[in-house]
Amino acid sequence: MRDQVAVILCAALLTVFTALPTVAQTRDVSGVRVLAIAPFSDENPLNWRIAIFGATRLSELLKGGRLQIVDAGRVAAELRRQSLAPTDLISPSKTIAVGIAVGADAVLTGRILEVLQEPAAGLSGDEITSIEGRVTVDIRILDVKTRLKFFEGEVYCSVPALVPVAMECVARRTAARVNALWPRN
């Protein structure tokens, strides 16, 4: 009987806590005028070309928007000057130091979580008729002054094509998120 009461009590508490509305924290983005795009990182050296492509393409997609963009090439040069690698930007302190050095108000970093290209089976399941490319990147946008995150989350694309097409999709989805945070007025 005590076990049943405990289960009912836990279920009631869970219902109460999950029913509470969540408060979305909105960050004031009005002070951000310059966004630096850091080269994407990946611990697998086989993926360095796709990582470079993703950050470079994102830089291109964001140019001409509301924000001034410090492109991935310029941020990569600053990383080399500071003897850092893109994987070092997991540290907020190093990200902020690079952001300050390139004159940015915020820095966008990307860490590749998955790059996969594999054959996809045909309708009958017997033969391979296409290729599937998948890319997942963990994106973070950090405010240089406050160290607060404007955004953090995974951006994922799976397409019936090669991996570079999946990375193009990730870059476009990330650009859309950035543009949603800083819309043109």
List the chain pLDDT tens, one digit each, 185 residues: 444 433 333 333 333 333 333 333 456 777 899 999 999 999 888 889 999 999 999 999 999 888 999 999 999 999 999 999 999 999 999 999 999 999 999 999 999 999 998 887 665 656 666 788 999 999 999 999 999 999 999 999 999 888 999 999 999 999 999 999 988 76
**In CATH, which of 3.30.300.30, 2.60.40.1120, 3.40.50.10610, 2.170.190.11 is domain 31-181?**
3.40.50.10610
Task: Check residue 34 and give its pLDDT.
Answer: 96
Cβ atoms within 10 Å of 144's Cβ, excluding its own: 21
Here the tokens at position 176 are 């859309």
Task: Check residue 65 and give its pLDDT.
Answer: 86
pTM of the model: 0.80
Quote the DSSP letter at residue 19.
Answer: H
Looking up tokens 């611990």 gives: 43
Task: Check residue 11 and give its pLDDT.
Answer: 36
* Among the listed residues 175, 182, 40, the one whose alpha carbon sits nearest the alpha carbon of residue 105: 182
Residue 87, SS3 per DSSP: helix
Residue pair 8/2 in contact by the 8 Å Cβ criterion: no
Q: What is the domain partition of the chain in residue ranges?
A: 31-181
Element holding 8 (H helix, E strand): helix 2-19
CA 66 – CA 80 distance, rounded (Å): 28
